[in-house]
Amino acid sequence: MKKLGIVLAGAIALAGCASASADTPIDVADQVTRAVYGDDLNGTVAHFDSGLREQVKTEDVDRLSHMMHDLGSYQKLTTVNADNMNRRYDYQAAFDRGSLLVQTRFDPDGRVAAYRISPVQQ
């Protein structure tokens, strides 16, 4: 019985570590970008704070998804700028036929307070 408790505690600790590692800014940005690329409204707003969530509309996600699909398949994010003090992070989103600049800002709770993408001139 005692061993079982230790195992459960270890499993819970591992799960906590795993979830913590999944919440790094680049991971959150990647998840949001993949959701936008997949035209997934719920996935897009999953990490958004309440104020930002209210701004998102289905047609907005649809348009940005089309914009991304014009560049081909989504591959990955690469950090371009990281400002931990202001929780501002910029990434280069690579696609088959180009890239986009993904700019994010997080609130103190780790929720996404701003998510913007900009075309990158090839």
Radius of gyration of the chain (CA): 17
When the beta carbons of 17 and 120 are compared against other proteins, the nearer one is 120
User: In degrees to the nearest 10, what's the CA dihedral of 40, 46, 52, 58?
Assistant: 20
When the beta carbons of 16 and 72 are compared against other proteins, the nearer one is 72
Stretch that binds other proteins, among 1-9, 10-18, 19-27, 107-115 (CB under 8 A): 107-115
* 15 binds other proteins, rule: CB under 8 A: no
36 contact partners, CB below 8 Å, separation of at least 6: 44, 61, 64, 65, 68, 117
Question: Which member of 26, 41, 46, 67 binds other proteins (CB under 8 A)?
Answer: 67
Host H or E run for residue 4: helix 2-22
* 121 binds other proteins, rule: CB under 8 A: yes
Contact between 74 and 68 under an 8 Å Cβ cutoff? The reply is yes
User: Which residues here bind other proteins, judged by CB under 8 A?
Assistant: 48, 51-52, 55-57, 59-60, 63-64, 66-67, 70, 79-81, 88, 90, 92, 99, 101, 103, 105, 112-121
